[in-house]
Amino acid sequence: MTAVSGIEKVNGSTRAMYFQLDDSWRSARGKGVSVAVIDSGIDIGHPDLAGKVVDSVEARVDNKKVVFDPSDAGDSAGHGTACAGIISKIAPDSELHSIKVLGAGGLGDGMAFLAGLEWAIKQKYRVINLSLGTTKPQFFAPLHDLLDRAYQAGCIVVAAANNLPQPSFPSVFSSSLISVIKSEEKDPLNFGFHYGEVIELTAPGVNIRTAWPGGDYRSLTGNSFACPHIVGVIALLLEKHPDLTPFHVKSALHSIAMENQNRNGEIVR
């Protein structure tokens, strides 16, 4: 049993929040939880992912506007399949939705990235995996606005930190999303939380064996692969507690991580 507490801001005022979280989520499978993977697409034919991807769309520029079409193009870079494989391993009954905004080599346009996030928010997917970001300052304000919209829609956005020593958006917006950086931990449920730091959550992200297009597997390292570990954990929480708000989820992750760190003998802040 985990005691979850915090101070929530609602309509300009603050209120104390407290609830008990039982351990039933640890044996959940993410059933009924919609998860959007905004990335390079997903190989829906991979044995680990067959039948788990509910739909796939792909960004296309039409008269200077980004539109999304149903797509069976799969994964052009492997990155999205790898992230989806991690989520599926932790929450095998979650419903995956592929939003393809990256092309070959994992490269993409910033406007397609913004449009992909907006698409996911409009669909009200419960959890959004963003194992990508941008360092371009012109996207700071529109991303911040989209994250506010996601919060109001009840969408829980999880973003990976930049692998380079340079801040990237939206992972630095730690007040309006859940940001993640890699650790050498192997157990996905033994994640950490460092309150007060820009990137608050730590999760497994070193030599992670996961799905790769063509029915293959690879061992990968990076913050990109820490992010879907937390997304998978959130899917477990939401199966058992579907009414949790984004604020409740972040508070629950903080409380669980504090228990993890206390159990591991780490300094708890």
CATH assignment at residue 190: 3.40.50.200
Let me know: does 191 contact 202? Beta carbons within 8 Å. yes
pLDDT of residue 17: 65
Q: Is residue 44 part of a domain?
A: yes
pLDDT beyond 80 at 182: yes
The first and second tokens of residue 137, run together, are 């300052």
Give pLDDT tens digits for 215-253.
Answer: 999 999 999 999 999 999 999 999 999 999 999 999 899
The total domain count for the chain is: 1
Does any domain span residue 5?
Answer: no
Is 39 a known active-site residue? yes
* Residue among 224, 229, 248, 251 flagged as catalytic: 224
Q: In the annotation, is 168 catalytic?
A: no
130-171 per-position pLDDT tens digit: 999 888 888 889 999 999 999 999 999 999 999 887 888 888
Domain span including residue 230 = 26-263
Q: How confident is the model at residue 172 (pLDDT cuts 50, 70, 90)?
A: confident
Strand ranges for the chain from DSSP E? 2-10, 13-21, 34-39, 53-62, 65-70, 95-100, 127-130, 156-160, 178-183, 192-193, 201-204, 208-212, 216-220
Domain assignment of residue 142, yes or no: yes
Examine residue 244 and state whether it is found in any structural domain, yes or no.
Answer: yes
Q: Is residue 215 part of a domain?
A: yes
Of residues 79, 97, 229, 254, which has the active-site annotation? 79
Average pLDDT (99-112) is: 81
In this structure, is residue 105 part of a structural domain? yes
Task: Look up 88 and say whether it is catalytic.
Answer: no
Output the pTM of the full model: 0.92
